[in-house]
A and B are shown apart, each in its own frame.
Chain A
Amino acid sequence: MAEEISPSSNFRTWPVVVALSLVSAPLVLMFIYLFVDTITDHAPGSLIPNRFTLEHWTFLWQDRPGKANIWRVTFNTLVFATSTTIIVLLVSSTAGYVLSRLNVPGRAYFLAGVMVLHAFPSVTLIIAIFIVLQMVGLYNSLIGVILVKAALDLPLGIWLMKGFYDTVPWEIEMAGITDGASRFTVWRRLVLPQVMPALMAVGLFSFLSGWSEYILPQVLTPGNKVQVLSVYLAGLIADDNNFDLALFKSVGIFYIIPVLILFLFFQKHLMNIYGGGSKG
């Protein structure tokens, strides 16, 4: 439980607040304008809005010419992020346990290998992945990009989960086994609940990373039917014929709303990643 920590009286806080406010003012201003611009119009060359309008949000119920349906794209993004998260959670929760507890030949090499994989920027792999996906027929399909994204996210998840499993006392497992539970039951009923905070954090990270992923879907799923939001957004700004900055901003806001909501609900769990372990 986080306790209220009363501010230190060693120094005054207001000069710090003023200094920080000044430095971050431009950013805050830009965010405000980002939002204001989506619901107003203004005369060319002017910064002051002169008219309230919902015109820039029409993309929600009207398909733009040559563009994919926004709800379809949103649905694709949701499927992409959720599936990636589920795969990452399933694999890292089990693999982490095995690496932490069972006899794995060459455990150290495996862990080092996983780490190296994590160090590769995905861009450097993308041409090879593109060729592989095309050969197995998963190019331009959500399944393909989901598998690739999950594979790239797994190293971090596995390492984190292994670290958390390491903190669970052996005695709990021994007690479970002598109580007559199978190894799987011990994992599922006794050990997994101890690492729930880590599981939440890994899942959330994975979802957010999937939601904001751009380069993989851009290269591997450019088609209108399988497009995700980040690609849709990039398509707007790259469109020289009907360039519409206000529309771009509106889609941008639409894109980050789910992330903000998620953050509001789960930020406590996200911060948990450095706490964790078993208590009691």
Chain B
Amino acid sequence: MRILLENFGKSFGTFKVIENMNLEIRSGEMLALLGPSGCGKSTTLFAICGIHKVTTGRILFGDRDVSNIPSQQRNVGVVFQSYALYPHMTVTENIGFPLMVNRLPSTEIKRQVDEIAAMVHIEDLMARRPAELSGGQQQRVALARALVRKPDVLLLDEPLANLDAGLRLEMRSEIRRIQLETGITAILVTHDQVEAMSMCDRIAIMKAGKINQIATPTEMYHNPASQFVAGFLGNPPIAFLQGTAEGDVVKVDKCDVPVPFPKTVKSRPAGARVALGIRPEDFGPAGNIVIPGRVSFVETQGRENLYDVQLADGSILRSIQPVRDDIAVGDLVNWGANGDKVMVFAEDGARL
């Protein structure tokens, strides 16, 4: 079901967390609300599920305005960061609870619970209590409980934050598989760009209560709307250089290297301050714009090595390359950036 936020705003007392937000989640789509902590992403999620009252604007499920409808009548499924399983109930009772409060006959409850349990692969755990489950199993139970009511929308609040690295990888693909299998509209709240990129159809990136950009992960990675978005996506992160525009080129501070503007960027008035963004994979021996520097750090990652290259003004460029052992810390290198991939940002952070 399509979810629509129209001029949505939320304040706590006089403190405005979110103002005038417009967001459409298409039917069957999985959308990530990505942003640093305190940016209002969880507030948005809680407003959609009805735990927070909407201060201004409207929230629509399909064509139905749910802004003033209590949470109980909204038909949403929520997975909380702590899972919030009911400790005194078995797995069966936990999953069946939403059906039980809707007064379904017990045979029907059993049938639906078994069906959903099979889908999330927890058939063997049905008699256990949450304390007897591992983190990943608790996560599966929480998912099953959220889905058993066949909700209009599935809301996931940092669902992977409490899992260890291996399980996180597994649950990432599991959640995506279940979402695709059920075809449910889903919203994922996360501060982890890898989660957002790997699980979702589209990402809405938020900062200080505002959505900065909504795009598919690929689009957002290659074509970020602002310096903030470019810096938030990508691991290892993008590196920024400060410079001054001079005609068709940017003079990087304290380096004599002129970096030509990419073709897509209109030249700036001479003397304008700009920032250049260069991703680690776009900087290396193959690049056409040579920026000399000194290797200041080498990080071995197994398949690849990550090199930090320090420039004359002290700023750092990162380069990720297949493993090689001819470069050590302190070496002078003349690597280059891929001229087509360099991103230029104005002083206020907007992409040029």
Contact = CB atoms under 8 A, between A and B. Distances in A.
A171 B142 CA distance: 12
A180 B148 CA distance: 12
Contacts of A194: 87-88
Contact of B51 (A172, A174, A179, A190): A174
A193 B129 CA distance: 14
Contacts of B102: 180
Given A182-B72, A278-B87, A175 B131 contact: no
Nearest to A170: B84
Nearest to A178: B78
A185 B78 contact: no
Nearest to B98: A179
Consensus secondary structure, chain A interface:
helix
Contact of B72 (A171, A175, A180, A279): A180
Given A177-B71, A179-B97, A193-B88, A280 B130 contact: yes
A173 to B, nearest CB: 9
Q: Which bucket holds chain B's interface residue count?
A: 20 to 34
Given A194-B88, A280-B131, A174 B78 contact: yes
A138 B102 CA distance: 46
Interface in B62-109: 71-78, 80-82, 84-88, 97-98, 101-102
B72 A280 contact: no
A68 interface: no
Given A280-B129, A280-B131, A179 B145 contact: yes
Contacts of A182: 72, 101
B50 interface: yes
A1 to B, nearest CB: 12
Given A181-B101, A185-B101, A174 B84 contact: yes
B191 interface: no
Contacts of B88: 193-194
Nearest to A196: B88
A280 B49 contact: no
Interface of B: 46, 49-51, 71-78, 80-82, 84-88, 97-98, 101-102, 129-131, 145, 149
20 contacts: A169-B84, A171-B81, A172-B86, A174-B51, A174-B80, A174-B84, A175-B78, A175-B86, A176-B86, A177-B50, A178-B50, A178-B74, A180-B73, A180-B149, A181-B97, A279-B87, A279-B131, A280-B129, A280-B130, A280-B131
